[in-house]
């Protein structure tokens, strides 16, 4: 089992997951590009009820994505590190920002969402399934 635990940059917030990741995904949507300040977001999807967080500085930003569905991005209120997101399109999952994992060396994207927004410089190695919009619901 991959160890899914990590935290924010300043160390005031930590998280740990009691279950296996369901999916590793890249998202090329404009919201993830702006949110990450990069060409895409890299996420590990886990069952929502399996994630435990510690720390008192968590804050949440709610927005509406390009699909019209809502998302809730949770971040550290002290240092601003993005930790995970809940999206209406996948209500049973939380998408952990892979960069916040204590060890992300095992993360290998399996799928790409919003590939129509993929920047030319953002090539992903390997045979990774692409979706033009959100990942399909299970």
* pTM for the structure as a whole: 0.88
Q: What is the pLDDT of residues 38-63, one digit of tens each?
A: 989 999 999 999 999 999 889 999 98
Helices (H), 2-134: 30-36
* 138 falls within a domain: no
Q: Work out how many domains the chain is built from and give that number.
A: 1
Q: What is the pLDDT of residues 65-111, one digit of tens each?
A: 777 878 899 999 999 999 999 988 888 999 999 999 999 999 999 98
CATH number, domain with residue 105: 3.90.1590.10
User: Which of 133, 124, 132 has the alpha carbon at shortest distance from 26?
Assistant: 124
Identify the domain containing residue 94 by its residue range. 5-10+17-130
* 52 falls within a domain: yes
* 137 falls within a domain: no
Q: Which residues contact 29 (CB under 8 A, 6 or more apart)?
A: 65, 66, 113, 114, 117
Q: Which residues contact 122 (CB under 8 A, 6 or more apart)?
A: 28, 39, 40
């Amino acid at each position: 089992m991959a160890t899914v635990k990590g935290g924010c940059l300043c160390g005031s917030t930590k998280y740990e997951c009691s279950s296996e990741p369901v999916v590793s995904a890249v998202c090329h949507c404009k919201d993830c590009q702006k949110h990450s300040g990069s060409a895409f977001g890299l996420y590990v999807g886990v069952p929502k009820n399996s994630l435990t967080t510690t720390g008192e500085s968590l804050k949440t930003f709610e927005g509406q994505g390009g699909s019209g569905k809502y998302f809730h991005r949770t971040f550290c209120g002290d240092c601003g590190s993005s930790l995970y997101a809940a999206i209406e399109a996948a209500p049973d999952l939380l998408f952990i920002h892979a960069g916040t994992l204590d060890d992300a060396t095992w993360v290998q994207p399996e799928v790409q969402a919003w590939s129509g927004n993929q920047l030319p410089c953002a090539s992903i190695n390997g045979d990774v399934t692409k979706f033009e919009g959100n990942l399909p619901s299970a």
